[in-house]
Chains A and B, each alone.
Chain A
Amino acid sequence: MKTYIAQRLAIALLTLVGMSIVIFALLRLAPGDIVDVLFSAAGYVNPGEKKAILQELGLDKPYWQQYMDWVRQILVGDLGKSYRYDLPAWQIIKPLVPVTVELAILSTIVAVVLGVPTGVVSAVRQDSALDYVLRVVSLAGLSMPSFWLGMVIILSLVSWLGWIPPLTYVRPTENLWLHTVQFMLPALAVGYRSSALIMRITRSAMLEVLREDYIRTARAKGQGTGAVVWRHALKNAVLPVVTVVGIEFAFLIGGLVVTETVFNLPGVARFLVEAILWRDYPVVQNLVMFIAIVVILSNLVVDLLYGVLDPRVRYA
């Protein structure tokens, strides 16, 4: 198992190095830089002033040197300075991370709590009226983008109740109730979409497992339906579900852009888009690296979970 983990970590490290090169290169390929954006806000361009700012920010250096500077900074735990805010990038990024991580975790919980049981029920009651209803609900979830659902929720609330959840971020330490209210709706909007996917995966995996010989054996030996379904079948059907949950969680860390924007939550994804528009390289590079790390870690966790859930993986 130790070798297995070591291998995964080595691959993760290589992936991160590759990612850093890709991120760095892609950012430089995009036309314009922070100085163009600064002048855009001023409505003109002055070549002399532009040159001075490029020098000040170190953007006049060759690309390889800029890359090496960034890598060196990361290695000593310095994320550089935000071009836009003139503050250490870490100071900008730090408050964003808990918001996104919390929203992603809550959304994943909503997705699992809704998706897994409905998937199981749908499989057990295959081709029944309940199955059809659940499949339609899940298809609707897949068809509706979460940001659209979020906007519909906001507009419906304001039209019917004249109320919307707080739009200024409330920290849990400030007011736990308001904080919960603030996260509940976006988590539901995002979680519903993910739950639809999990439901469908769970259903198809369960259908496959329910037809296995050992399930028939369990029934023949007099096991109750509950025990057969939830203990024997689900345990064996859960591997693809875990994969999907892992992928969904990783996707959510960087993919909550519009949900964070609609619900005005100051998270990583919303800020990342802003930073890209501003060509704020230090913030973008480090935020994307953070997302990459989360994706890699969640994949690692999924891989490790395989080992826990399926002894064959462990022994192999």
Chain B
Amino acid sequence: MRPQVLTFSLLVTVLAGLLAGAPAVGQSPKAGGVLTVAQREDTPQGFAIHESSTVSTTWPAMPCFSNLVLFHPLKQQESVETVVGELAEKWSWQDSYRSLVFFLRKGVKWHDGQPFTSKDVKYTFDMLREAPDATGKLRINPRKDWYANVQNVEAPDPHTVVFHLKRPQPSLLLMLASGYTPIYAAHVPAAQYRTACVGTGPYKLKEWRKGEFIEYVKNPDYFVKGRPYLDGIKYVVIKERGTRVAALQARQVEVAFPGDTGKTTVEQLKKAVPQLVVTRAAENVNENVIMNTRKPPFDNVKARLAVARAIDRRALNQAVHQGGAAVGVSMPSRPWGVWGLLDKDLATTAGYGKPADEKAAARKLMAELGFGPDKPVKVEIVTRAIAIYVDMASFIINELKQIGVDATLKQIETAQWHAMATRGEYQIGANLTGIGIDDPDANYYENFACGSPRNYTFYCNEQVTAMLDKQSAEIDAKKRLALVWEIQKKLEEEGARPTLTWRVDNFTHWPQVKNLVPHNNFYNYGRMQEVWLDK
């Protein structure tokens, strides 16, 4: 690590007090009580967040862990400005954003009493990026690409960690703040996190009764003094959605599962229990159309563009979400995200104009390819056999029929879905994509970069890849935003993977639950250290 701080260096110091955040206005937090929280399914990979990509894992596992940094628990919109320290007391970008140095808290203990040191951090990130000398190995490593730009991780002393990067990448800090980026204990085998949890987080695992509940108790040795407020948390697994809603209404659980309360559900709940607190927050999950660019007719950009133009996003939002979702392109627009196109730009993007004009343009494109009402192109639209997917796919089929695309629905069981998509055994599909953070690097490298395993469309454009790299390395926030807007427009022009809507949650809890602020990304606000019960 270079000792000097260069021109673009930025020193951010975050005191532990900042993390505590402001309590609910006009009320002093009370300690005690056990919070009951709904859980839609048993956690798929136990507490092994690094081996999972679902909120069903992060939501109940986050209270056990700590990150180096985290998005401020009490701020809904996440951005670089809301990143606060957890295991890192402070951090510093050095060497023109090529090194990120973390200064770790002292005296932090793992739940089993072992001391936390920089070795644990190095162990975690060497394992994640699959470094040749990594001492740990993950069975499944879905976010390896997040760390593709990390050259090496150095632990010069027990309380300092340095990430050396191949090129500047401001987004790295945000990735480290995601709920998907906990620090694992170097002395605990990674596989053990599938059945148990040894973290440094505010709560210690008391019991996981498979298929029933996950119960935590307060960690008395938690490194933030006075936290957590709660004595414990109980995540109650309720598979049936109707029963989950009834449980919330009957106050058997005090907090809904994120993303579970759609517009209609929440309207019914509010009618029955007016005092319920409902906050609209983006999930950072979008609905999109995947078109296999290696198979006709979608190997032709005109066919992809025709599909993109044919689907009336606003009508989809009304029909499927009762107006509860947000319309946008590949990055969510304000107020749900910070990178999305402005309304004026969105209005001029293909697929976002007047529906009749868009459909006419789509028909023209199909006609140029030799297809039309007399000679429709027959395609099979695949989707997961889950209601939210099927609803969207059914709507798309109806829209495509209007431009001479004769689509039939094929439902794929969950066990087969990603294998099918990764192998490209489809022509066109209706898909949902969740993104760990509201950040172009996290989204674009994963879903649009050449060769990414989650780039199901096999869209590959070297020019776009160069644009991705350019924005990724850009340190000036304004310049970077402009570059990201250009990328969004380019992706839409090429029908790379048309986004239809961004899902918006109506996060619901009982009023006695305080300081539980949903973020515009449901993967990142499960830590629960600030939450208290006004009982």
By the criterion CB–CB under 8 Å, are A87 and B195 in contact? yes
Q: Which of B51, B56, B243 has the most CB of A within 10 A?
A: B243
Within 8 A of B (CB), among A265-294: 266, 270-271, 274, 277-279
Instruction: Assess whether B79 is interfacial by the CB under 8 Å rule.
Output: no
- Indicate if B267 sits at the interface (CB-CB under 8 A): no
Option from B141, B212, B242, B419 in Cβ contact (under 8 Å) with A262:
B242
Which of B234, B242, B417 interacts with A154 by CB under 8 Å?
A: B242
Give the complex CA separation of A53 and B202 in angstroms. Answer: 33
Report the nearest B residue to A271, measured CB to CB. B211
What residues of chain B lie closer than 8 Å to A162, measured between beta carbons?
249-251, 273
A-B contact pairs, 28 of them (CB 8 A): A31-B415, A32-B415, A33-B415, A39-B140, A40-B415, A41-B56, A42-B52, A43-B434, A43-B454, A45-B418, A45-B419, A46-B453, A49-B141, A84-B44, A85-B46, A85-B194, A86-B46, A86-B191, A154-B242, A155-B246, A157-B246, A158-B249, A162-B251, A164-B250, A167-B236, A168-B212, A169-B212, A274-B239
**Given A37-B415, A39-B418, 12 further pairs, Cβ under 8 A:** A32-B419, A41-B45, A42-B140, A45-B423, A86-B194, A87-B195, A157-B250, A162-B273, A167-B238, A168-B234, A261-B239, A270-B211
Contact of B417 among A40, A84, A159, A264 (CB under 8 A): A40
Pick the most buried of B234, B252, B413, B415: most chain A CB atoms within 10 A of its CB: B415
Show the binding face of A for B, using Cβ within 8 Å. 31-33, 36-46, 49, 52-53, 56, 84-87, 92, 95, 151, 154-155, 157-159, 162-164, 166-169, 261-264, 266, 270-271, 274, 277-279
The 8 closest A-B pairs by CB, nearest first: A32-B415, A42-B142, A44-B453, A45-B422, A43-B53, A41-B44, A158-B246, A164-B250
In the complex, chain A residues whose CB is within 8 Å of the CB of B209: 95, 169, 266
Whether the Cβ atoms of B210 and A85 lie closer than 8 Å is yes
- Asked if A31 and B242 make an inter-chain contact with CB atoms under 8 angstroms apart, the answer reads no
> What's the least CB distance linking B60 to chain A, in Å?
14
Decide yes or no: A42 and B51 within 8 Å by CB, A164-B247, A271-B211 being known contacts.
Answer: yes
Interface residue from A36, A49, A168 paired with B418 (Cβ < 8 Å): A36
**Once the chains bind, are B194 and A155 in contact (CB under 8 Å)?**
no
The answer on a CB contact under 8 Å between B52 and A36 is no
Cβ distance A151 to chain B, nearest Cβ, rounded Å: 6
Closest to B192 in A: A86
What is the total of A-B residue contacts with beta carbons within 8 Å?
143
What are the residues of chain B within 8 A of A85 when measuring CB–CB? 46, 194-195, 210
Closest B residue to A45 using CB positions: B422
Residues of chain A with a CB closer than 8 A to B53's CB = 41-44
Kindly state the separation between the CA atoms of A308 and B249 in the bound complex, as whole angstroms: 51
Nearest CB in chain A to that of B238: its residue: A264
Contacts of A42 in B (CB 8 A): 51-53, 140, 142, 418
Interface centre among B213, B236, B250, B454 (most CB of A within 10 A): B250
Q: Kindly state the separation between the CA atoms of A172 and B357 in the bound complex, as whole angstroms.
A: 66
- Of all chain B residues, which has the CB nearest A164? B250
B300 at the interface (CB under 8 A from A): no
Residues of B with C-beta under 8 A to A164: 246-247, 250, 252
Cα A242 to Cα B337 in complex, Å, equals 65
Chain B residue with Cβ nearest A166: B252
- A39 → B minimal CB distance (Å): 6
User: Chain A residues near B211 (CB, 8 Å)?
Assistant: 266, 270-271, 274
Instruction: Say yes or no: A151-B242 contact (C-beta < 8 A), given A40-B418, A42-B51, A168-B236.
Output: yes
Task: Please indicate which of the listed interface residues A43, A87, A155, A277 has the most CB atoms of chain B within 10 Å of its own CB.
Answer: A43
**Cα–Cα distance between A254 and B39 once the two chains are bound (Å):** 25
Q: A164-B246, A167-B247, A167-B252 are in contact. Are A44 and B415 (CB under 8 A)?
A: no
B240 an interface residue at 8 Å Cβ cutoff? yes
A3 to B96, CA, bound (A): 89
B54 CB-CB contact with A under 8 Å = yes
Q: Establish whether residues B416 and A44, one from each chain, have CB atoms under 8 Å apart when the complex forms.
A: no
Q: Which of A46, A92, A261, A279 contacts B240 (CB 8 A)?
A: A261
Cβ-based interface call for B272 (8 A): yes
Cβ contact within 8 Å between A163 and B416: no
| Central interface residue in A46, A56, A158, A271, by most chain B CB within 10 Å | A158
Report the separation of the CA atoms of residues A39 and B236 in the bound assembly, to the nearest whole angstrom.
Answer: 25
Bound-complex Cα distance A38 to B52 (A): 8
At the interface, yes or no: B438 with Cβ under 8 Å from chain A? no
B322 within 8 A of A: no
Q: Kindly identify, within residues 114 to 161 of chain B, every residue whose CB is under 8 Å from any CB belonging to chain A.
A: 139-142
- Using Cβ atoms and an 8 Å threshold, which residues of chain B touch A264? 236-240, 243, 247
* Contact across chains for A44 and B272 when beta carbons are under 8 A apart: no
- Cβ of B233 to closest chain A Cβ, rounded Å: 13
* Pair B42/A274 contact, Cβ less than 8 Å: yes
- Say yes or no: B45 contacts A36, CB within 8 Å: no
Q: What distance in Å separates the Cβ of B312 from its nearest Cβ neighbour in chain A?
A: 28
Chain A contacts for B236, CB-based, 8 A: 167-168, 264
Instruction: Among A31, A154, A274, point to the contact of B416 (Cβ < 8 A).
Output: A31
Contact with A along B182-205 (1 / 0, CB 8 A): 000000000100110000000000
B250–A31 contact, CB under 8 A? no
Contacts of B240 in A (CB 8 A): 151, 261-262, 264
Query: Does B57 sit at the interface, judged by CB under 8 A?
Result: yes
How far in angstroms is the closest Cβ of chain B from A48? 11
Measured between alpha carbons, how far is A154 from B211 in the docked complex, in Å? 20
Residues of B contacting A49 in the complex (Cβ-Cβ under 8 angstroms):
139-141
Is B414 an interface residue when CB atoms closer than 8 A count as contact? yes
